[in-house]
Amino acid sequence: MSKVLVVDDQVSNRELIVTLLKYAGHEPLEAADGHLALAQVREQHPDLVICDILMPTMDGYEFVRQLRADPAIAHTEVVFYTATFMEREARSLARSCGVSTVMMKPSEPDEILRTIERSLTGTSPAEPVANAQQFDREHLRLLTDKLALKVSELESANRRLSALTELNLQLASEHDPHVMLDKVCRGARELLGARYAVLAVREQADEELAYISTHGLAPAQAKAMQALAADASWFSQMAGNGRPRRFTTRDGAELPAQLPPLGSGLIAPIASLQRTHGWVLLGDKLGAPAFTSQDERMLSTYAAQAGRIYENGSLYKKIKQTADQLAIEVEERKRAARELSVANETLEQRVAQRTSELHDVIEGLESFNRSVSHDLRGPLGGIANAARLAQEFVAAHEPAKATHFLQVIATQADVTGQLVDSLLALARASDASLNLEAVDMNGLVNDVLASLQPPSQPPLPVAVDRLPTIHVDRKLARQVLVNLIGNALKFTGSVQRPQVHVGVSPGPGAPVFCVKDNGVGFDAHKGQQLFKPFHRLHDHRFEGSGVGLSIVKRICECHGGKVWAESTPGQGACFFFSFGDGGTRSTGA
């Protein structure tokens, strides 16, 4: 059995290698960047190090160079495992610092295991080249090019998010469902750059086609799509699991004869939380051979929002039709004036309530758009400025200053990446369908604490009461506990004796759980702002995107429950949450 250190700033990447090492009978060690890895090598003396290249604090090249400079550990074998887009330059620079083996992400598990075994039984690494100044220039150029590409990708994602928000605002203000569906079809094609788009919806899952819209097709092709969509067997098969799907003719996908010729396609369901209303199909990605996973996520989010707005628009149309019918009946049935008057007043209240809800949706989307634009503009501007300064210092042969700004770029890129991840998590929490099952809350809390426990650190200061087993969506309930317990640990970090308590309030009905801490607390009058996206009550001493509690609120509401908080500044906070009827007690506490 050999001791192998895995160095990567992405937890999921480390978990894959660690799992393979355990399977092969080796002892795995982990580190999140080069600086921590150096300390691990000096202390543990592993037989092999598998290291990513682009990491915060200290990248893989600098890690290997410092490792080779220390006679006590210079002989340690190192393998680079990276997803760099400049493979030839990366391999050349790796050889310059004494690394002969470079694996490109992603690699098959069998290939990873073979590379590990070859490295463990191979010879010592080569000595680094003598020209350190040339190495520094190549090192900085490679990292600068890589980060410049990341800046471009983030700017493109920002433009897409802004366009998506603008489209949602337009859709939310449209009361006619058919006009709204035409906008969805055209917007999907323009947003993702497709040659054509086809959209179809049904009033009920087993009824005939209710409406179809096409964009980018000739009249004859659009007519052929009417007949194809009316049958819907092919589309039901393609999107039968309620999830988006990419396909290409090269993959052997069988296409119906009525479908216009295409090389690649992307289909996503138009669905609300209650049911699937239809689907939207995009044909051929303009300027690319196929649609990407990012396109798939974008269309899935867009179609889910369209499904909700379509459902609201259909309800609004039905309410308006009912109001018109009541007005006619009032004229025709004057003898029933009192009953019709009461019914009309009730109807007006429902219309006013729905109008108010639609107005709240529009205001929420506008606030969401402003928050996303503001939070993304800051780090993207910092990345762009730092990248320009880094290029200038590289050209001026001042690597120390250039390295500083590269570290600034990496930090800002991490911030932006965390924000985008938070946006995706918020969207998933909004659109998630519930999969209720009996869940032992004590076991779920213990699982969350194990995932939050830092390696080689004292146990977390968390006390847990005996909790009941309830019927709830396990994954979503786990997300609630991760966010609330994680927040409690974060805000007790500066307390001399931190304490976190997870409990449940006794009583009949659905149980009410609580997570209590003795941290910094907050002003109770501002407590409702905690659950709004991107609203934070504390300064930047405490990390976070301002989305976690919004996700908690949406998950609880999806189950029919709620969440609220009580606190006093400097005396800790207590968050209460329930899952409503979805969280009905299964066994006694």
Q: How far apart are CA 280 and CA 190, in angstroms?
A: 13
What dihedral do alpha carbons 536, 537, 539, 545 form, nearest 10°? -20
Count of residues for the chain? Answer: 589
Contact 33, 62 (CB under 8 A): no
99: three-class secondary structure by DSSP = coil
Q: Comparing 517 with 527, which gets the higher pLDDT?
A: 517
Q: pLDDT by residue (tens digit) across 185-219? A: 888 888 888 999 988 887 655 556 678 888 888 88
Element (H, E) at 81: strand 77-82
Mean predicted confidence (pLDDT) in 58-63: 84
With bands split at pLDDT 50, 70 and 90, how would you rate the model's confidence at 50? Answer: very high
Please say if the pLDDT value at position 238 is more than 80.
no
pLDDT value at position 363? 60
pLDDT value at position 588? 47
Please say if the pLDDT value at position 182 is more than 90.
no
DSSP label at residue 11: H
How far does CA 419 lie from the centroid of its chain?
9
Contact 73, 48 (CB under 8 A): no
Mean predicted confidence (pLDDT) in 269-280: 80
pLDDT value at position 150? 55
Please say if the pLDDT value at position 223 is more than 50.
yes
User: What share of the chain in percent tops pLDDT 90?
Assistant: 15
pLDDT value at position 466? 94
Mean predicted confidence (pLDDT) in 134-160: 52
Mean predicted confidence (pLDDT) in 28-43: 92
Please say if the pLDDT value at position 126 is more than 50.
no
pLDDT value at position 130? 42
With bands split at pLDDT 50, 70 and 90, how would you rate the model's confidence at 576? Answer: very high
What pTM, to 2 d.p., does this model score?
0.35
Mean predicted confidence (pLDDT) in 290-308: 84
Q: Comparing 274 with 191, which gets the higher pLDDT?
A: 191
Most confident of 75-79, 324-328, 534-538: 75-79
Q: How far apart are CA 585 and CA 306, in angstroms?
A: 35
Cβ neighbours of 488 (radius 10 Å): 26
Q: How far apart are CA 415 and CA 379, in angstroms?
A: 7
Please say if the pLDDT value at position 174 is more than 70.
no
Please say if the pLDDT value at position 233 is more than 50.
yes
**Omega cis (within 30) before 106:** yes
Q: Comparing 552 with 312, which gets the higher pLDDT?
A: 552
User: What share of the chain in percent tops pLDDT 70?
Assistant: 70
Q: pLDDT by residue (tens digit) across 308-346? A: 777 776 666 666 667 677 777 777 777 767 777 777 777
Most confident of 455-464, 542-551, 580-589: 455-464
What dihedral do alpha carbons 8, 13, 15, 19 form, nearest 10°? -110
Please say if the pLDDT value at position 589 is more than 50.
no
pLDDT value at position 453? 86
Element (H, E) at 279: strand 276-285
3-state secondary structure 521-565: CCCHHHHHHHHCCCCCCCCCCCCCCCCHHHHHHHHHHHCCCCEEE
Q: Could you give the C-alpha distances from 27 to 6, 22, 48, 115, in angstroms and in order? A: 11, 7, 11, 16
Q: Are strands 469-473 and 462-464 parallel, antiparallel or unpaired?
A: unpaired
Q: pLDDT by residue (tens digit) across 470-524? A: 999 888 899 899 889 988 888 888 888 999 999 998 767 789 999 999 988 887 7
Most confident of 246-250, 295-299, 306-310, 377-381: 295-299
Reading across the β-sheet that carries 563-567, which strands appear in turn? 462-464, 500-505, 512-517, 573-577, 563-567
Residue 139 structure tokens: 């090192």
The per-residue pLDDT of the chain, averaged, comes to 77
With bands split at pLDDT 50, 70 and 90, how would you rate the model's confidence at 416? Answer: low
105: three-class secondary structure by DSSP = coil
Please say if the pLDDT value at position 6 is more than 90.
yes
Among the listed ranges 100-109, 273-282, 347-356, 422-431, which one has the minimum average pLDDT value? 422-431
Spatial neighbors of 370 by CB under 8 A, at least 6 apart, are: none
pLDDT value at position 46? 93
With bands split at pLDDT 50, 70 and 90, how would you rate the model's confidence at 105? Answer: confident
